[in-house]
Amino acid sequence: MDMLKAVVTDLNELDEGLRGYYVQKDGKFFLNVTPVDGFQLDNTQGLKTALGAERNNVSVLQAQLKPYEGLDVAAARTAIERIAAFGDITPEAAKTAVETAARLTALDPEKQAEQIANTKLDTIKGQLSAQYGVKEAEWTTKVKGLEDTNASLVGQLKTIMGESQIKSEVAKANPLDDARDAVELLVGKFVRTSMKDGQVVVDVIDTNGNPRIKDVNGTPFTVADLVAEIREKSASLFKPDEKRGLGTNPGNQGSNPPAGGVVNPWAAETRNITQQMVLENTKPELAKQLKAAAGVKD
């Protein structure tokens, strides 16, 4: 005789006489059994799963409690409270402190006073060394800042002193108004400033950068000497002593020289390469006009 199934999905699977013992629930047909003395028809799969999970939890807890078997609860609580009192102290730091305390406790002050003093001295020296290191870094930074500032100021001072002397000597030579900047530029190419014994020294140098001298005695060549030399070589850049205006030719008053009376350095009869260079660097438009007047093509 076949046993009755606890649940079926289709009543047609059962004999017609057995179908009345089943009730439909959640799309299935369950055997309708009346509970007696605590026995009843129920879904045991969920119970088995829950029971397995609980058994697993018990096994895990038992494994975790294994190291604490035989531990006195009161003693454990006291130990936890003492550990909490140490705050953030690490076990390694605590171990070192205990070892140090034990070593110091074992010392005999009378016999080992020198050792104790040396230990304290080393500690103080270490602290002072650390403080000195910090201060040394601060001083080094400040000194570097002062040195940079001083170098900048010295550079500015040398530039001002050099330019001041150049402008002063060029002005004394009475250059043409239009040529003043050009003459100062030309003089500046051969002037070098330096610091000697805390003073700014202005030297005149040659094309190789060596200081120029005037005689066998080693007399320095001054800025005034340099301006006089340029005035002699390029007289057209300066006003004549008789104040007739630079570049005018007394013998040609009836002609109309270009650029308001300025001698044309590109003309064959007044060719002057130095003045050509100066005008091209400082007065390019004027240089272009003078070239055209002399028939010179770029």
Q: How far apart are the C-alpha atoms of 120 and 114, rounded to whole Å?
A: 10
Token digits for 195? Answer: 């610091």
pLDDT at 68 over 60: yes
Among 206, 172, 184, 279, which Cα is nearest to 236's?
A: 279
Residue 2 identity (one-letter amino acid)? D
User: Which of these ranges, 120-129, 247-256, 268-277, has the smallest mean pLDDT?
Assistant: 247-256
The whole-number pLDDT of residue 243 equals 45
Token digits for 145? Answer: 């800042």
pTM: 0.39
Can you tell me the mean pLDDT for 165-177? 92
The whole-number pLDDT of residue 73 equals 75
Confidence band for 87, pLDDT divided at 50, 70 and 90: low
The residue ranking higher by pLDDT, 163 or 100, is 163
Which long-range contacts link 132-135 to residues 24+ away (Cβ below 8 Å)? none
Can you tell me the mean pLDDT for 188-208? 91
pLDDT at 251 over 50: no
pLDDT at 246 over 60: no
Among 2, 21, 1, which Cα is nearest to 11's?
A: 21
> What CA–CA distances, in Å, run from 115 to 22, 104, 109, 126, 129?
97, 11, 9, 16, 21
**Torsion (CA) 109, 115, 116, 122 in degrees, nearest 10:** 180
The whole-number pLDDT of residue 252 equals 39
Residue 182 identity (one-letter amino acid)? A
Token digits for 13? Answer: 């699977």
User: Which of these ranges, 115-119, 180-184, 227-231, has the smallest mean pLDDT?
Assistant: 115-119
Q: How far apart are the C-alpha atoms of 57 and 69, rounded to whole Å?
A: 18
* pLDDT tens sequence across 2-57: 677 888 888 788 888 887 888 888 888 887 888 887 766 666 666 677 777 888 88
Q: How far apart are the C-alpha atoms of 182 and 113, rounded to whole Å?
A: 85
Q: Are 159 and 195 in contact (CB under 8 A)?
A: no
Token digits for 184? Answer: 């100062």
* pLDDT tens sequence across 88-103: 777 787 778 778 777 7
Can you tell me the mean pLDDT for 207-229? 89
